[in-house]
Amino acid sequence: MDLSERQRHILYEFLNEENQMYTAEELANKYKVSKRTIYNDLQDIREWISSKGLELCIKPGTGIWVNREKNDQETICKIKNELSDFKPYITPLSKEERVKAIISILLKESDTVTISDICSRTGISRTTFYNDLNDVENWFKRFDLDVVRTQKKGVALEGDEDNKREAIISFLTENLDESQMLSLLEINNNYANTMKKPGDNIVIDLFSTYLSNINLEPIKIFVNESQKALGYRFTDSAFLALVVHIAMAVKRIKDGFNITIDEQKLNFLKQNPEYEISKLLSKKIEKEYEVAIPEAEVGYITLHLLSGKINQSYKEELNPSLNNCVATMIETAGSILGMDLSNDEELSKGLNLHLSATYNRLMLGMEEKNPLKDIVLEKYAQLYSTAKIMAEVFEKDTGYSLDDDEISYIMMYLGAAIERAKGTQTKKVYAVCPTGLGGAQLLVANLKNKFPDIVVKGTISMSEAESLNDPEVDAIISTVNFKNDNFPVISVSPFVSETDMVRIYNVLNVETSKFQSKRSANNLKIANKEEIPAFISIISDLACFVDRLKNKLAIKMSNETYLGLIIHLALRLSLSSKEKDLFKGQSFKLTNDKSEVDSVIYEEMKDLCKKYPFTIMDEDILAIKAYMSLNSEDVTK
């Protein structure tokens, strides 16, 4: 019989290192298949190497390994040579990754792509392709694009150029976070360092196809100059979207693809001061990249300037036409929740700024996705109905309905207001949340509520935070990872989970009453200071005991199980003086019917007894075997 490529890879790993051991779960995770598939592979491998004179050992609860004898070395070398010509193993794509891969291929190609070509490039079968095609078509429908099937030729993407560009930019921004996008925009960026999760390579490959040959630095400079001319600054996400849009426009215009814009919409855009800024920006682009920017492109740049979310610290003027609408929304929410939110200036100002940009986007037919939507809907599920009623107030006033992405933004502002109402704040920090003002308010409100001794000086963009040097600041607390050479950057979620609280405490050494009470409850009570050295000595001895057992029995343990066993043994030692009353079972006797595992544990425990006198009971051996997840046959002996 012949081994499959995956089976050859698995066997080679076992043979390549002496005493290599895996569990079925580890192999399943590594090769992205089910445990059942791994067990089927192992049976084939066992049969195959058995014919070569080797044994594959499979012991549930312990692991899988190749049994090696001294005289097997020559056989192992021959098998390794036989296996060494295998092809690189391609991990099967998940359904989500397959759909992304097909979308990426269609966005890259301007002509029809054959089914065979798509299957070859993604490593899937024709049946799988057709099963996934419905999801692909539904994704493109969001942008009024059609996946057209042509008989005997394949599939092609059809639709307007502006819709195709919007699809490309959305594909990038929906699948990569702000820190990844900012990294991709850097000069000489190593794309491999940008990947964080499975499937990122598919998205980054599309970015490379369209933008790798364009120097993005001048565009970033021109956009910054435009922000100064406008008198306000965009959030990181809005800034990124505009830079990518302009770079995409340069690439597509040079390739001969132009967009069109409705005359009525263009006339509306010309009435805004942002249009004049767009014209100046376009002239700089023309000169830098030697490309003619048509009027329609100027219009679309204006769209981005009008619809971009604004960083509150840079633009304090509000949209007067939405004042009454926002006030009614807040009053409605307050009456539903039984809270007076009318004096919360941050809520009023934040909602006004956000909904102004939302109104512009809706009026111009542009959609906005909230990257935190799913988390917000889960975290603040009880606020959904309230936010939906607030959205109905907005619809009644403006004529535009809000989808769940926008409703989740309202929930973020509302959640932040509720957190502010709970409490007040002497460590000084800046907060960074690239998803926009709503996320920033939520982060700040949670910090103030959970850490009374933290003063948030303000919210800033990630690009500002990277070069921040304020002598009065102790740290930057951010929802994305980045580096600042002057301060520690503490990465958290906008909701500041208990894990985040521990991280903040470790860096800033500031207490929160909730965190403090939890830590106190979890502390082991020690009667007096004199007992501490003895306690540490016991824990150290028990850790050495468990380590010796792990090595002798060749097993792996999770950190939780490892600590659990040490705590169990510590309690066992503390009760040793009361053994006669507490333990009614039999003392352990090493007889012929005991297993090899029993013998190893017993011998190690005898050494422990020399320092901490106690009687080894049957229950002690059984408990240790249970913690170490040794197989049921051993445990029942």
User: Whole-angstrom Cα distance, residue 205 to residue 104?
Assistant: 8
pLDDT above 70 (res 604): yes
> Does a structural domain hold residue 353?
no
Of 482, 498, 521, the one marking the end of a domain is: 521
Q: Domain check: are 462 and 394 in the same one?
A: no
Whether 554 and 606 share a structural domain: yes
pLDDT at residue 556 is higher than 80:
no
Domain that holds residue 553: 531-635
How buried is residue 112: exposed, middle or buried, by Cβ count under 10 Å (0-12/13-18/19+)? middle
The answer to whether residue 31 scores a pLDDT higher than 50 is yes
- Exposed e or buried b for every residue in 426-461, given b needs 16+ CB within 10 A? ebebbbbbbbbbbbbbbbbbbbbbbbbebbbeebbb
* pLDDT at position 576: 54
Q: Examine the domain organization and report whether 404 and 483 are in the same domain.
A: no
User: Which residues are within 8 A (CB) of 39 and not within 5 positions of it... i.e. 6 or more apart?
Assistant: 24
Percent of the chain clearing pLDDT 70 (strictly above): 83
Same domain? 409 vs 429: no
Q: What average pLDDT score do residues 333-337 get? A: 88
Domain-embedded: residue 67: yes
CATH number of the domain to which 410 belongs: 1.10.1790.10
Domain contains 218: no
Does residue 565 belong to any structural domain of this protein?
yes
Looking at the structure, do residues 516 and 431 belong to the same domain, yes or no?
yes
- Look at 207-221, 344-358, 473-487, 623-637 and tell me which has the smallest mean pLDDT: 623-637
If asked whether residues 631 and 535 sit together in one domain, one would say yes
What is the total count of domains within the chain? 4
Both 548 and 480 in one domain: the answer is no
Q: Is the pLDDT of residue 43 over 50?
A: yes
CATH number of the domain enclosing 67: 1.10.10.10
* This prediction's pTM: 0.51
Number of H helices, E strands in the chain: 30, 8
Q: Is 239 exposed, middle or buried (0-12, 13-18, 19+ CB in 10 A)?
A: buried
- pLDDT, position 529: 46
Sorted by sequence, the CB contacts under 8 Å of residue 563 that are 6+ apart come out as none
Q: What is the tens place of the pLDDT at every residue in 581-593?
A: 344 445 666 677 6
Does some domain include residue 72?
Answer: yes
**For residue 505, what is the domain's CATH number?**
3.40.50.2300
DSSP state of 312: G
Average pLDDT over residues 82-89: 65
Is 383 part of a structural domain of the chain?
yes
Give the residue from 521, 552, 583 where a domain finishes: 521
Q: 415 lies in a domain?
A: yes
590 versus 351: which is more confidently predicted?
351
- Residue 393 sits in the same domain as residue 415: yes
Q: What is the pLDDT of residues 469-526, one digit of tens each?
A: 888 888 999 988 888 888 899 988 887 887 788 888 878 877 665 544 444 334 434 4
Give me the residue label for tokens 């001294």: 70
pLDDT, tens digit (0-9, with 9 covering 90-100), for 147-181: 998 877 789 999 988 889 888 888 888 888 767 77
Note whether 458 and 542 are same-domain residues.
no
At 557, the pLDDT band (50, 70, 90 cuts) reads confident
Q: Is the pLDDT of residue 280 over 90?
A: yes
If asked whether residues 399 and 457 sit together in one domain, one would say no
Q: Residue 359: its pLDDT value, please?
A: 84
Tens-digit pLDDT profile for residues 420-439: 776 544 788 999 887 666 67
Q: Does some domain include residue 156?
A: no
Q: Looking at the structure, do residues 324 and 415 belong to the same domain, yes or no? A: yes
| Better-scored residue on pLDDT, 441 or 398 | 398
> Where a domain ends, among 379, 397, 420?
420
Do 536 and 565 have their domain in common? yes
Contacts of 503 (CB under 8 A, 6+ apart): 490, 491, 492
Residues belonging to the chain: 637
Q: pLDDT at residue 89 above 70?
A: no
Q: What is the pLDDT of residues 186-221, one digit of tens each?
A: 755 555 556 566 667 788 888 888 877 888 889 989
Q: How many CB atoms within 10 Å of residue 598?
A: 22
Cα–Cα distances in angstroms (integers) from residue 383 to residues 336, 387, 417, 462, in the given order: 10, 6, 12, 29
- How far apart are alpha carbons 230 and 223 in whole angstroms? 11
